[in-house]
């Protein structure tokens, strides 16, 4: 690890699985139980806002009991070590909308698919931390209009957040690590190829080989709470 200067880490649902938050595409996962096209698209929200808000309200309630696990803490410790060594280029990009990386103390963190504990007004773009249930009749605290509140998450067909910063870092990183993601959803699934094009060493830590595992040069398979603390040592 000491020979690398610029690291980009990408995390997915697998890093939070052992904190009790479900993944998406495994047996029993969210998108195995529910149709994402009816819950996680702007069209679904326009057609049936009550159902979509109810789905995210339930996930918000579920998140209040979740605690960061050993993998989240290991990544936060890695960031602190990296900065102490004077290697300033550390970026943790998460596809997760939970707050478990923050709970563990990660600071250089980018939520490319948004944050479940934030609500956004689609009428005035006001963004705020919120643990209350979203509802159609609830007015926005800034513009006072009702009907516009939605979770601050990135649905299919919407542009992920922070892409300019992510691609800048991918273009100069010498180490790219993906943890607990199936590599099914773009553009995140393309980050490994981008990093490799620029000469980075690429590492995958996940439960078992998946769709894009062949693109990585180094692999560690197993539960994140075991592989991540072992790998950062």
The residues near 54 (Cβ < 8 Å, ≥ 6 apart) are: none
Q: Which of 6, 7, 19, 23 binds ligand BJW (CB under 6 A)?
A: 23
Q: How far is the CB of 6 from ligand BJW (least distance, A)?
A: 22
| 3-state SS track over 138-161 | CECCCCCCECCEEEEECCCCCCCC
- Residue number with CB closer to ligand BJW (40 or 117): 40
Q: How far is the CB of 142 from ligand BJW (least distance, A)?
A: 23
Nearest residue to ligand BJW, scored by beta-carbon proximity: 14
Q: How far is the CB of 35 from ligand BJW (least distance, A)?
A: 12
Letters for 53-92 (x = contact with ligand BJW by CB under 6 A, - = none) are ----------------------------------------
**What single-letter DSSP state applies at residue 189?**
G
Q: Which of 17, 14, 13, 9 is nearest to 232 (CA)?
A: 9
**Which residue in 72, 111, 113, 152 is the catalytic one?**
113
- Strand positions, DSSP E, the chain: 7-11, 90-94, 109-111, 114-121, 127-129, 149-153, 175-179, 201-206, 218-221
Q: Which of 10, 24, 191, 203 binds ligand BJW (CB under 6 A)?
A: 24
Q: How far is the CB of 29 from ligand BJW (least distance, A)?
A: 5
- Residue number with CB closer to ligand BJW (97 or 177): 97
Tokens 């062949």 map to which residue?
A: 214
Establish whether 101 is a catalytic residue: no
Prior bond of 3 cis (ω within 30°): no
> Under the criterion CB under 6 A, does residue 186 sit at the interface with ligand BJW?
yes
- Residues 45-57 as b/e (b if ≥16 CB within 10 A, e otherwise) read beeebeebbebbe
Rounded to whole angstroms, the Cα distance separating 15 from 71 reads 7
- Residue number with CB closer to ligand BJW (200 or 212): 212
Helix (H, G, I), strand (E, B) or coil at 199: coil
Q: Which of 139, 147, 223, 229 binds ligand BJW (CB under 6 A)?
A: 223
> Under the criterion CB under 6 A, does residue 187 sit at the interface with ligand BJW?
yes
Q: Which residues bind ligand BJW (CB under 6 A)?
A: 12-14, 17-18, 23-26, 29, 40, 95, 97, 113, 153-154, 156-160, 163, 180-182, 184-187, 206-208, 210, 223-224
Catalytic positions are 113
């Amino acid at each position: 690890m000491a020979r690398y200067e610029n690291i980009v880490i990408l995390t997915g649902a697998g890093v939070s699985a052992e904190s009790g938050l479900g993944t998406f595409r495994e047996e029993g996962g969210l998108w195995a139980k529910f149709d994402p096209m009816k819950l996680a698209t702007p069209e679904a929200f326009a057609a049936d806002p009550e159902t979509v808000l109810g789905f995210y309200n339930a996930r918000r309630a579920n998140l209040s009991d979740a605690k960061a696990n050993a993998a989240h803490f290991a990544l936060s410790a890695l960031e602190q070590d990296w900065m102490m060594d004077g290697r300033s280029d550390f970026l943790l990009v998460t596809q997760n909308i939970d707050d478990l990386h923050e709970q563990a103390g990660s600071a250089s963190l980018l939520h490319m698919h948004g944050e479940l504990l934030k609500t956004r007004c689609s009428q005035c773009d006001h963004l705020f931390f919120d643990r209350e249930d979203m509802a159609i009749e609830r007015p926005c605290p800034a513009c006072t209009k009702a009907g516009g509140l939605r979770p601050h998450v990135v649905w299919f067909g919407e542009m992920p957040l922070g892409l300019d910063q992510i691609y800048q870092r991918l273009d100069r990183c010498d180490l790219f690590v993906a943890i607990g993601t199936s590599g099914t959803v773009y553009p995140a699934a393309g980050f490994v190829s981008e990093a490799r094009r620029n000469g980075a060493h690429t590492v995958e830590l996940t439960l078992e080989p998946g769709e894009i595992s062949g693109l990585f040069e180094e692999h560690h398979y197993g539960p994140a709470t075991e592989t991540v603390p072992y790998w950062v040592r």
